[in-house]
């Protein structure tokens, strides 16, 4: 049996990523993302250089997917993988290989220090 793998994406468009006058914003995906995160693409727009962006899984326990601390004024495409973590919170050995994050929830984007009413040109999460 051949499994067809199609990359899906969810894009936070230009209008959904505009900071408030204090440089902050919390935005949520309109639907759950169900799959394995492959990469995150970010278009900086006119964000301030010292701004930060964090993408987390929404829910009772927020789990970080991606972050950009400082440098919010630069476009990027980041391929995501994490080291495995056991039930006690101990990070696995790099020799054990990397794993990709699986998500079955909505996503929250938090902006901070991005400037007074500044707008990103988009943020896209690619998953299969």
- Higher confidence at residue 98 or residue 120? 120
- Higher confidence at residue 43 or residue 3? 43
pLDDT band for 28, please (50, 70, 90 cuts). Answer: very high
Cα three-residue angle 27-48-78, rounded to 5 degrees: 65
Q: Per-residue pLDDT averaged across 44-70, rounded?
A: 84
Q: In the chain, what percentage of residues exceed pLDDT 70?
A: 81
pLDDT higher than threshold 70 for residue 60: no
Distances (CA, A) of 91 to 39, 80, 86, 98, 106: 21, 16, 7, 11, 25
Please give the structure tokens belonging to residue 106.
């909505």
Query: pTM for this structure?
Result: 0.80
- pLDDT for 63: 82
Give the span between the Cα atoms of 5 and 99, in whole angstroms. 18
Q: From the CB of residue 18, how many other CB atoms can be counted at a distance below 10 Å?
A: 16
pLDDT band for 94, please (50, 70, 90 cuts). Answer: low
Give the span between the Cα atoms of 14 and 6, in whole angstroms. 25
CATH 1.10.10 for domain 18-84+92-119+122-126: no
Backbone φ and ψ of 95, nearest 5°: -70, -20
The sign of the dihedral angle between the CA atoms of 32, 65, 75, 39 is negative
Q: Per-residue pLDDT averaged across 50-60, rounded?
A: 85
Give the span between the Cα atoms of 12 and 17, in whole angstroms. 7
- pLDDT for 96: 55
Q: Which residue has the tokens 């990469």?
A: 39
């Amino acid at each position: 049996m051949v499994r067809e793998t199609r990359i899906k994406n969810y894009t936070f468009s230009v209008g959904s990523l505009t900071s408030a006058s204090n440089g902050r914003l919390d935005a949520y995906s309109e639907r759950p993302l169900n799959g394995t995160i492959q990469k995150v693409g970010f278009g900086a727009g006119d964000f301030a250089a010292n701004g930060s962006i964090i993408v987390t899984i929404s829910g009772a326990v927020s789990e970080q997917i991606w972050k950009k601390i400082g440098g919010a004024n630069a476009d990027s495409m980041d391929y995501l993988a994490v080291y495995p973590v056991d039930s006690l919170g101990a990070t696995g050995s790099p020799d054990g290989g990397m794993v990709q994050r699986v998500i079955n929830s909505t996503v929250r984007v938090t902006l901070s220090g991005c400037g007074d009413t500044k707008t990103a040109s988009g943020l896209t999460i690619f998953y299969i």
